[in-house]
Amino acid sequence: MYASITRRLVLASGLAAALSVSGAAIAQADELDDIVKAGVLKVGIFEDFPPFSSAGTDLKSQGYDIDVINALAKALGVTPELTGITGQNRIPSLIEHKLNLLVSVGVSDERKKVVAFTAPYAPYSIDVMGPKALAVKGPADLAGKSVAVNRGTLEDTSVTEVAPEGTDIQRFNDYNGVISAFLSGQVQLMVVGNDVGAAVLAKHPDIEPESKFQLLNSPSAMAINKGEDRLLAKLDETLAQMKKDGTLDAISKKWLFIPLPPEL
């Protein structure tokens, strides 16, 4: 009996070893070739992150990210396969090769240790927004003005940090409160991410809101597995082409209601 258990253990570990070898072999194969050969680009997307990606009325995903993914897939001559992911599981899913590509990833040094980043492809910023007619150029101009924020968010803490004495920061429970207070004129300014800002710009209010200045600018990039240099080069080349021929600018205007920032 003991002998049989031992034999099984030996078998199992042998199998595991074989598996890990073949795993390594897969990882060493070129991912770009694999994608083209399979004809499918597997991309992880957020399911509820408008206007970058969210379900439309027909329940199909739509948004900035989706348009970019479709354009990329077209350039590679493959079909995109979208998988809903969460902020917690997306990098593990990529590393385990369940996905080829992640979109809407903020570039950070910690993440650079585990994944490779393409060039940034989408603006992501926290802006102080106000009516066109109101002159605000920097934090010092906030004194004496009322500013709406969503309480406890990064917007709240970052504007609280820079706001001078005499700034009337009004904290609301959610973005609806912030947007309503701003659009009804109850506050002069609001601090939101450009994703929320786009929802306001989409309404084309009479006050013509615009970004007065940025509290944070962290354009989103795409992430792929490390070591896939050919895939990375191909993606960067395609993104550069999309920036040059205005495709990306058109996507930005369509979903964010702003032209693509020149620094991208």
HSE on the CB side for 86, CA within 13 Å?
Answer: 2
* Interaction between residue 184 and other proteins (CB under 8 A): yes
- What's the order of all strands across the beta sheet hosting 146-150? 168-172, 146-150, 189-193, 125-131, 209-217
* Interaction between residue 171 and other proteins (CB under 8 A): yes
* Interaction between residue 181 and other proteins (CB under 8 A): yes
* Interaction between residue 226 and other proteins (CB under 8 A): no
* Interaction between residue 173 and other proteins (CB under 8 A): yes
Q: Of 153, 152, 147, 145, which Cα lies nearest the Cα of 128?
A: 147
Q: Are 54 and 47 in contact (CB under 8 A)?
A: yes
* Interaction between residue 203 and other proteins (CB under 8 A): no
* Interaction between residue 54 and other proteins (CB under 8 A): no
Among 54, 70, 180, 218, binds other proteins (CB under 8 A): 180
* Interaction between residue 170 and other proteins (CB under 8 A): yes
Q: Cβ of residue 155: shortest distance to other proteins, in angstroms?
A: 12
* Interaction between residue 172 and other proteins (CB under 8 A): yes
Stretch that binds other proteins, among 66-74, 96-104, 120-128, 180-188 (CB under 8 A): 180-188
Stretch that binds other proteins, among 63-71, 134-142, 148-156, 245-253 (CB under 8 A): 148-156
Stretch that binds other proteins, among 53-61, 73-81, 82-90, 150-158 (CB under 8 A): 150-158
Q: Cβ of residue 190: shortest distance to other proteins, in angstroms?
A: 12
Stretch that binds other proteins, among 15-23, 29-37, 168-176, 250-258 (CB under 8 A): 168-176
Give whichever of 189 and 223 is closer to other proteins, judged by the CB atom: 189
Stretch that binds other proteins, among 82-90, 95-103, 106-114, 183-191 (CB under 8 A): 183-191
* Interaction between residue 223 and other proteins (CB under 8 A): no
State the Cα angle at 210 between 209 and 211, rounded to 5°: 140
* Interaction between residue 82 and other proteins (CB under 8 A): no
Among 127, 156, 195, 228, binds other proteins (CB under 8 A): 156
- Residues near other proteins (CB under 8 A) are 148, 151-152, 156-157, 170-173, 177, 180-181, 184-186
